[in-house]
Amino acid sequence: MAALAVLLVVVGVWTSWSTAQHVLFTKGRERGEMTISRCDDNRCEGSFKPLSPGAQPHTKITIEESIGTKKGATLPVVLKPNTTQAVRGGGAGFFDAWVPLGGALLMAAVVVGGGLRLARVAWGTAAAGALLLFGAFLLV
C-alpha cells in the first residue's frame, strides 16, 4: 500500500512538472500577455505581447483551453522554449499546473487512510490535495 501511495504521488508530480517547470523557472523564458482571438478543439490562439526584456511579439501562439477563457481575454503567459506554445503564468498558472498533483494527493490519501491505517497522515495528504485543487478553482 505504501508503494502504491508513493507511486500515485510520483505520477502526480511527473504529470504536473511538464507545465509547472515553465511557470516556476521563468528566468530566460519569454514572459508576457496573451490576448485570446479564438478557441476551438481544446486550444486557444491569440497574440503575444512580451513583458520580459529581449522577448519578441508573436502574432499567433497557442495555449490549452482552460475554463473561463473567452475571446478578447488577456492572460499572463510564459512561452515554452523554442515554440509558440504558452502556459498560464502567475498565481493562476501555478495552481493550474499542479492540478494533477492535487488529484494524486487525494487518491493517495484514500490509500494511506484505508490501506495503511494512518488517519492523520491521510487527512494531511487530503488537505494538501484539496488546497491545490481549491486554489486552482479560485484563481483559474
Residue 68 has pLDDT above 70, yes or no: no
Residue bearing the bigger pLDDT, 41 or 22 = 22
What is the grid cell recorded at 112? 494511506
pLDDT band at residue 110 under the 50/70/90 scheme: very high
Residue 138 has pLDDT above 70, yes or no: yes
Cα-based angle 75, 14, 80 (whole degrees, multiple of 5): 35
- What mean pLDDT comes out for the span 30-48? 90
In order of their start, the domains of the chain are 2-21+97-139 (no CATH), 27-89 (2.40.50)
Residue 101 has pLDDT above 90, yes or no: yes
